[in-house]
Amino acid sequence: MTISRRNFLAGGAAGVIGAILAGQMPAFAQNSDTLTIAFNVNLPGFDPTTGASAVNPTVQAIYRSVFDQYIGQRPNLEFEPGLLTAWGWNEDNTKVFMDVRENATWHDGSPFTPEDVKWSIERAADPATGNPVSFVWASIKNLTVDGNRITAEMPVFEPTFFKWMAFLTGFVMPKAYYEKVGAEEFNRKPVGTGPYMVDQYEANAFLRLKRNPNYWGIQPAFETVVFKFVTDATSRVAEIESGSSDLTLDISYEDYDRLKDKPGLKGVATPISDVGMIFITNIDPMLDKNVRLAAIHAIDKQAIVDRLLRGYGVPLDTLQTPEYLAYDPTIKVAYDPELSKKLLADSGFSTDNPVKFKIQTTRGFKPKDYEMIQAIVGMWRKVGIEAEIEVYEIAKHYELRAAHELAPAAFYNWGDAIADPTTSTGHAMFGPSPNSAWKTQDLDAKIAPLMTEQDEEKRIAGWRAVDRYIADEGLVIPLLQYVQPIIYKSSLAVLPNVSGAMQPTLVAKA
């Protein structure tokens, strides 16, 4: 079931949700002033700018509730003012400016200032602080504060710099409070400028938030928001069926289809900016091009979407979804198991003498993630690939990826809410990136010039050429664009977020 703006606004929440779409105000609450969400991942920590999990798109829903970003982003991915009210480059792209909001305060009552922005950027740019994309924040130097305007030099042009300010790790931190209490205490008692304040946190159990009475924006709808950490999809279904939770997401599509028509419940499912993919690591046996291509050509992506995901998904052959800037529909990698057999035979493998490797996957993190890998392993077996499945938590994936210790094949869900090829193909495939699994000089040589290309038309064309090279060489296995299923009580109206971040402010009274 998909939702359109017109159909959504036809309900009683028309005025409220219309204002949300316009970026004017958050949603009103249901009769109960508490919203309980059965959430699909644990919260690894409260610092949204450090550690491998800071680049997990799923937890952004929580981070955006407690902290504000430099630049805001609407549910349709359009950018809007956040803690910055204006931003941009000078004429030759060698300097940037940022105008800082004047009417915000931290949760502890202290004033938010341009010094907080300056310190947050400089801290994020320092690799020692543990920011996974410190190289992005290091793009600007010599930050200077003059009133509410910050200026800085950009010695090497970074075309996605301001986009990152609405993306992963793009959160402003409290300079005075953080320096006073330190990292450990901050993780126990975080302070942000966001619409909610942390009330109680139990690791691996729940997070309870309370409305921030001094929020600089319109007051959020619910007095209390509870995120229950329910990593098992079946348990999330039980949460919503029992009424213990008001809303849940990323359950199986069978359960979604069953529950959305059940009395007292509703559902919405819409394509989001997430790509289901399989990383390929440049270790044996994946150093053999024939093995890589055979693995790719053996996967019937359309059958996976149709039969396993009940039609909820868009098969992909690159790491770009149709909404991304560099999407090229002419890049196709055919489902051809006979070609897979031939490629494997050329390298001495067959169904009687299969090539063997491990594939890692989450189970319940995304709808049918484990089952999808099971199906792929079955398809591989038919052509001469024997893959052993290892299940891990998403946090373990980040740990292994950062250390370049993933298995030869590893399932992942890549989110690119800013829709730029640099933050999809670029960071997933560029060797120096801590987010890549394939690290080779030939690919890096093609990607590196695009990271600083100032001609936008040339930049996008270059990324499309890189995507074609990756497809031809079989360096990653794109599978599909995800459709996110959300089930909620019929007393609510829910506006889906194309970024996949299920933020409490996108829920209204029906």
Per-chain mean pLDDT for the chain:
92
Predicted confidence (pLDDT) at residue 308 exceeds the cutoff of 80:
yes
pLDDT category, 8, cuts 50, 70, 90?
very low
**pLDDT exceeds 60 at position 22:** no
Query: Taking residues 215-233, what's their average pLDDT?
Result: 93
The confidence score (pLDDT) of residue 218 equals 83
Instruction: Say yes or no to pLDDT of 7 above 50.
Output: no
Amino acid letter, residue 143 = L
pLDDT of residue 355: 98
SS3 215: coil
Cα separation, 118 vs 140, in Å, equals 11
More confident residue, 270 or 5: 270
Lowest mean pLDDT among 10-19, 303-312, 370-379, 485-494: 10-19
Residue 495 and residue 508 in contact, taking contact as beta carbons nearer than 8 Å: yes
CA distances from 143 to 117, 152, 167, 200 (A): 10, 4, 21, 36
Q: Rounded to whole angstroms, how far apart are CA atoms 35 and 225?
A: 5
- Looking at residue 504, its pLDDT comes to 95
At 420, the pLDDT band (50, 70, 90 cuts) reads: very high
| Cα 78 from Cα 20, distance rounded (Å) | 12
Percent of the chain residues past pLDDT 70, beyond the cut: 94
**Does 258 score more than 60 pLDDT?**
yes
String of b and e for 400-419 (b: at least 16 CB within 10 Å)?
Answer: bbeeeebbbbbbbbbbbbbb
Residue pair 191/177 in contact by the 8 Å Cβ criterion: yes
pLDDT digits (tens, 9 = 90+) for 353-379: 999 999 999 998 888 999 999 999 999
With a cut of 70, say whether residue 172 has pLDDT above it.
Answer: yes
Cα distances (angstroms) measured from residue 214 to each of 90, 103, 195, 196, 225:
35, 10, 8, 10, 17
CB 331 within 8 A of CB 317: yes
User: Is pLDDT of 9 > 80?
Assistant: no
pLDDT band for position 56 (50/70/90)? confident
User: CB within 8 A of 202, min separation 6: which ones?
Assistant: none
Q: What does the pLDDT read at residue 434?
A: 86
- Cα torsion 41, 42, 43, 45 to 10°: value is -130
144 in helix, strand or coil?
strand
Phi–psi pair at 460, nearest 5 degrees:
-65, -40
CA separation, residue 146 to residues 85, 149, 401 (Å):
15, 5, 41
What pLDDT was estimated at residue 323?
87
Please state the φ and ψ torsions of residue 209, each to the nearest 5 degrees. -115, 150
- In this prediction, residue 4 has a pLDDT band, given cuts at 50, 70 and 90, of very low
Domain 5-49+181-270+485-509 carries which CATH code? 3.40.190.10
**Dihedrals phi, psi of 386, to nearest 5 degrees:** -115, 110
Q: What is the pLDDT of residues 28-55, one digit of tens each?
A: 334 489 999 999 999 989 999 998 778 8
pLDDT at 53 (0 to 100): 77
Average pLDDT over every residue of 173-191: 96
Q: State residue 365's pLDDT score.
A: 87
Mean pLDDT in residue range 413-421: 94
Is the pLDDT at 216 greater than 90, yes or no? yes
Q: Where are the domains of the chain?
A: 5-49+181-270+485-509, 68-174, 271-483
Average pLDDT of the segment spanning 184-210: 96
Residue 484's pLDDT is what? 95
> In which band, very low, low, confident or very high, does the pLDDT at 265 lie, cut at 50, 70 and 90?
very high
The CATH code belonging to domain 68-174 is 3.90.76.10
pLDDT recorded at residue 413: 93
pLDDT in the model for residue 44: 87
pLDDT one-digit tens code per residue, 429-460: 999 998 999 999 999 999 999 999 999 999 99
Q: Give CA–CA dist 41/37, Å, rounded.
A: 11
Of 62, 1, 36, 41, nearest to 489 (Cα)? Answer: 36
Q: How far is CA 12 from CA 233, 269, 306, 496, in A?
A: 31, 20, 34, 17
Say whether pLDDT at 396 is over 50.
yes
Note the pLDDT tens digit of each residue in 99-127.
999 999 999 999 999 999 999 999 999 99
Residue pair 68/104 in contact (Cβ under 8 Å)? The answer is: yes
Arch. (CATH architecture) of 271-483: Roll (3.10)
pLDDT at 364: 87
Residue 132 has pLDDT above 60, yes or no: yes
Residue 221: what pLDDT?
85
pTM of the model: 0.84
pLDDT of residue 391: 98
On the question of a cis peptide bond just before residue 220, with omega within 30 degrees of 0, the verdict is no
Beta-sheet pairing, 34-39 with 247-249: parallel
Q: How confident is the model at residue 82 (pLDDT cuts 50, 70, 90)?
A: very high
